[in-house]
Each structure stands twice: as structure tokens, then as C-alpha cells.
Amino acid sequence: MEKVFKRNEGAPIFAFLEGPPTVNGYMHVGHARGRIYKDIVLRFQGMNGLHVWRRGGWDCLGLPTELETERRLGLRSKKDVEKIGMERF
């Protein structure tokens, strides 16, 4: 993969942001299958001359809601959240 990555430097970019592996529970064969399919596509794009940009994503399922709640409550830090308590937050 390193050879392909270096060979394709400067080529058009194929960007891929990998989501968290186990958002819906414990790791099982379905997670592996999904990752294998994604890996096949990324390797295929690299072998076809594209500069593949792959990065691990993050778990942001509740982040938009949390950020809006912090904004509405005027919270700026974890300590602010701890002061009002998780139940109210």
C-alpha cells in the first residue's frame, strides 16, 4: 500500500472518512464484513491511480444535540456541565 500511496501522490484525491467501528454494539462479523468491503474499494481506487485519503472518523451520533444544548444553556466547559448535573444537561 505504501508504494501505491507514494506512486499516486499528486493524483486526484479519493477521500474516505471511516466511521467508528462499533456504533451499534459489540464487534461482530458484520463489522468485519463492512470494513473489508470498504478496504476493497479503497485499494481498487488506489490501484486505478487515485490518491486515496483515508482517515478514521469519530463517534458523533449525539454531538450536534450536545453542542446545541451547551449553547442554549450557556455552558462552555465540562465543569459547567458537571455543575448543572447530567440529568438537567
pLDDT confidence of residue 3: 85
Domain range holding 68?
60-89
Q: Are residues 64 and 24 in the same domain?
A: no
Mean pLDDT value across residues 42-68: 83
Q: Are residues 47 and 26 in the same domain?
A: yes
| Helices and strands (DSSP H and E) totals, the chain | 4, 2
| Bigger pLDDT: 59 vs 45 | 45
| Bigger pLDDT: 42 vs 66 | 42
**CB of 49 within 8 A of CB of 10?**
no
pLDDT confidence of residue 21: 67
Mean pLDDT value across residues 27-43: 88
Cβ count near 37 (within 10 Å): 10
Q: Are residues 64 and 40 in the same domain?
A: no
pTM of the model: 0.57
Q: Are residues 47 and 29 in the same domain?
A: yes
| pLDDT value at 60 more than 70 | no
Q: Are residues 64 and 22 in the same domain?
A: no
Number of domains within the chain: 2
DSSP state letters, 47-61 = HTT-EEEEEE----S
